[in-house]
Structures are given as C-alpha cells and as structure tokens.
Amino acid sequence: MRDTPPPKARLPLAWLGLLPFALFILLFLIAPTMKIVIGAFQTPDGGFTLENLRGLFTPSILSSYWISIKISVASSLLGCLVGFLIAAAVVLGGLPKPIRAPLLTFSGVASNFAGVPLAFAFLATLGPLGLITVFLKTQFGINLRAMGFNILSFWGLTITYLFFQIPLMILIITPALDGLKREWREASECLGATAAQYWRMVALPILFPAILGTFALLFANAFGAIATAIALTGSSLNIVPIMLFAQIRGDVLGNPHLGYAMALGMIIVTGVANVIYIWLRMRSERWLK
C-alpha cells in the first residue's frame, strides 16, 4: 500500500487580511525607524560617526529633554488623577448608567483630538483675549496674565495636554475598575473594614499596576506630541519635538543627522515607557480576570 504524502501546510486565507496592516507597519513604522537609527550614526556624506550622539549632551538639547520630561510627568500625573476620579465615579460611584456610554464615546474622540484645532481651542478659551480670560477680567476683576498664567508657557501647555490625557486615562482605567469583584468589597465589609480601608488595602493595591502602567503610557503620549505644542507655543518653549523639527526642516542652520539623534533619544524614552506599560498591564490583568 502506497503511503500518502502528508498534506502541505497552507497559509489560511484569513491571514491575507493582515497583509495591508503588515505593509502599513513596514512602510510607516519600521522603515522610518530604521532610517532614524541609521541616520543618527551618519555624517552628511554617509560616513559613520558618534558626533551626533555627543551633540545630545549640549546644554540646549539637555534642557529641551528636561522640559519635555517635566511637562510629560505633570500632564500624566494630573491626567491619571482626574481621569481615575471620573472613571471611578461612573463605574463605582452610583452615577446613572446612561452617562457611561456618552462619556466613553467622548473620551475616544477627545483622546485623539490634538494639533492645530486643539491649540486654537485653548487659545480662544484661555489665550490673552480668550473667552474665559476676558470673562474673568470683566466680570470678577481677575487678571490671569497679571497672576502669572500664560497659555504659551509650561503650565499652559500642560493644561492643554490634559484635554487628551484625561480621556485616555478614562478609556484605559475603566476596564480595570470593572474588574474589581464585588466579593472583595463584601468580604472586607464583613471583616469590619471601612470604605477607606478597602480602597487603601484592597482596591488600590490591585489597581496600582494598571494605574502606573497607564501613567507610563500617558507619559509616552505627551512626550512625543508635537503638533499641539508647535501650534500653541511656536518656538517660545523649547521642548524636544520642537527642537527636532527645527533641525530636520531643512534650514541653513539645521542639522538633519543631529535631528535623527534627537529622534532616536525620543524613541528610546517612549519605547521604555511603553514597555513598562505593557509589563504592568499584564501584571494587573492577572488579578482582574
């Protein structure tokens, strides 16, 4: 009896659906990233050099990284705090259930709302002649400019970033809050724990990896934002994305390969933040399944 050959392994037809996505990732993520990495170690004539990386340690570039880190940390902390309180109020606070769907829908839209429209919205609201600025000055005699607030400053950009940081926190932390089992709270109440003790000793320790991981994601989100920053502040605030844009836009004083090195530094910072987020997210899901 003749042995029948084993059937040849065939690629399922469903995998072809991933081909456009894989092509998109290759052309718009992997290829540009490799271009940046290679360009960071090249001279203008294509030779190998480490001078571009040494340029990252000049005072102006180090200062831009430090400002970007501070803005990212501030917006991430405030975004985590406010977003967590809003999500907890909706999921656990007893608010009407019909509020949840519109809130999550708005959060999904607002978390991706950035760039020139967002910058214009905040200038029209909190700028020197913005709606709230003029209203507070004419109706209550409160002069935000005299009090030191400037939308084109560190705190102005931080507040602007909160528009997409808070909704992103709501979207990510809501499933984690849904994962808190009712039995855990009932057990703590049976043992005589107060609401504060339950949150301090049960809920927050379980949610902490998810909160910390979301903070890392928000940090990466703010650190790489450029469209909103450059549309709002121009060159008045030297954060890394703005200085990077100045290096690669082709001006006479620009150095594209130094810009590649700056972009490589941003990739490393945001990459580490995203790895931390993924790792902590996996740890939190062990408890919340």
- CATH code for the domain in which residue 150 is found: 1.10.3720.10
Q: How many domains does the chain have?
A: 1
The answer as to whether 51 is a domain residue is yes
Other CB atoms within 10 A of residue 201 CB: 11
Reduced 3-state DSSP string for the chain: CCCCCCCCCCCCHHHHHHHHHHHHHHHHHHHHHHHHHHHCCECCCCCECCHHHHHHHCHHHHHHHHHHHHHHHHHHHHHHHHHHHHHHHHHCCCCCHHHHHHHHHHHHHHCCCCCHHHHHHHHHHHCCCCHHHHHHHHHHCCCCCCCCCCCCCHHHHHHHHHHHHHHHHHHHHHHHHHCCCHHHHHHHHHCCCCHHHHHHHHHHHHHHHHHHHHHHHHHHHHHCCCHHHHHHHCCCCCCHHHHHHHHHCCCCCCCHHHHHHHHHHHHHHHHHHHHHHHHHHHHHHHHHC
Q: Which residue, 184, 210, 213, 211, is CA-closest to 197?
A: 184
Residue with the larger pLDDT of the pair 44 and 222: 222
Task: Find where tokens 């607002």 sit.
Answer: 110
Query: Domain residues for 282?
Result: 29-288
In this prediction, residues 195-213 reach a mean pLDDT of: 88
Is the predicted pLDDT of residue 228 greater than 90, yes or no?
Answer: no
Give CA–CA dist 146/150, Å, rounded.
9
Gyration radius from the chain CA atoms: 24
Q: Which of 239, 124, 100, 106 is nearest to 168 (CA)?
A: 106
In the chain the first and final C-alpha atoms are separated, in Å, by 53
pLDDT at 250: 58
Q: Please determine, for residue 89, whether its predicted confidence score (pLDDT) is greater than 60.
A: yes
Whether the pLDDT of residue 251 is over 60: the answer is: no
- Say if residues 118 and 111 touch (Cβ distance below 8 Å): no
Q: How far apart are CA 230 and CA 245, in angstroms?
A: 9
Domain presence at residue 197? yes
- Whole-angstrom Cα distance, residue 205 to residue 237? 38
Q: What is the CB-side half-sphere exposure of residue 141 using CA atoms within 13 A? A: 0
What phi-psi label fits residue 61: left (phi over 0), alpha (psi between -120 and 50 degrees) or beta?
Answer: alpha
User: pLDDT tens digits, residue range 112-142?
Assistant: 888 888 888 998 998 888 889 999 989 888 8
The pLDDT assigned to 179 comes to 85
For residue 165, being part of any structural domain is answered with yes
Q: Who has greater pLDDT, 247 or 274?
A: 274
Report if residue 4 sits inside a domain: no
- pLDDT for 242 equals 83
Residue 11 in domain: no
List pLDDT tens digits, range 98-113. 899 999 999 999 988 8
Predicted confidence band at 209 (pLDDT cuts at 50, 70, 90)?
confident
In a domain, 149, yes or no: yes
Q: What is the pTM of this model?
A: 0.85
How high is the pLDDT of residue 164? 93
Neighbours of 137 (CB within 10 A): 14
- Flag whether pLDDT at 18 surpasses 60: yes
Q: What is the pLDDT of residue 288?
A: 61
Cα-based angle 267, 231, 222 (whole degrees, multiple of 5): 35
- pLDDT band at 73; cut points 50, 70, 90: very high
Residue 66 resides in a domain: yes
> What does the pLDDT read at residue 79?
96
Q: What is the mean pLDDT of residues 32-51?
A: 89
pLDDT given at position 172: 92
pLDDT at 244: 83
User: Chain-wide mean pLDDT for the chain?
Assistant: 86
Q: Who's near 103: CB < 8 A, 6+ residues apart? A: 86, 90, 170
Residue 287 CA to residue 289 CA, distance in Å, equals 6
Greater confidence (289 vs 104) lies with 104
The answer to the question of residue 12 being in a domain is no
